[in-house]
């Protein structure tokens, strides 16, 4: 299952619910659903997984003031970890070399 994005506009806030697997393909739709609102709450209880682009999008939304609620433990750990820019990440260290 891909990601389902549901939006409920209430008088004082917008509630965005995510279910399934959030991937780079759904990030534009998510960002579009989260624009032009003062109070934003994103419900993550039914989110099964998220790739790096999905996690980064959620982190950006949180940094802009969105409230992320109901995240399963493993997703919360990813959300709480620092964002990693693949271009800025150091190259992997080489393992031990055998000398003959």
Q: Is the CATH code 3.30.750.24 the one for domain 4-80?
A: yes
Cα distances from 67 to residues 41, 43, 64, 82, in angstroms, run 5, 8, 9, 17
Q: What is the tens place of the pLDDT at every residue in 17-46?
A: 999 999 999 999 999 999 877 799 999 999
The whole-model pTM stands at 0.80
Q: What is the tens place of the pLDDT at every residue in 55-95?
A: 999 999 999 999 999 999 999 999 998 865 544 455 555 55
Query: Phi/psi of residue 42, each to 5°?
Result: -115, 120
């Amino acid at each position: 299952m891909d990601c389902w994005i549901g939006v409920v506009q209430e008088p004082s806030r917008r509630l965005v619910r995510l279910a399934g697997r959030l991937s780079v393909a759904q990030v534009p739709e998510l960002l579009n659903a989260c624009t032009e609102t003062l109070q934003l709450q994103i419900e993550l209880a039914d989110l099964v997984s998220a790739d790096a682009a999905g996690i980064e999008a959620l982190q950006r939304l949180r940094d802009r003031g969105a409230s992320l609620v109901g995240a399963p433990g493993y997703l919360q750990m990813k959300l709480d970890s620092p964002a990693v820019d693949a271009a800025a990440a150091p190259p992997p260290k080489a393992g031990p070399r055998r000398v003959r």
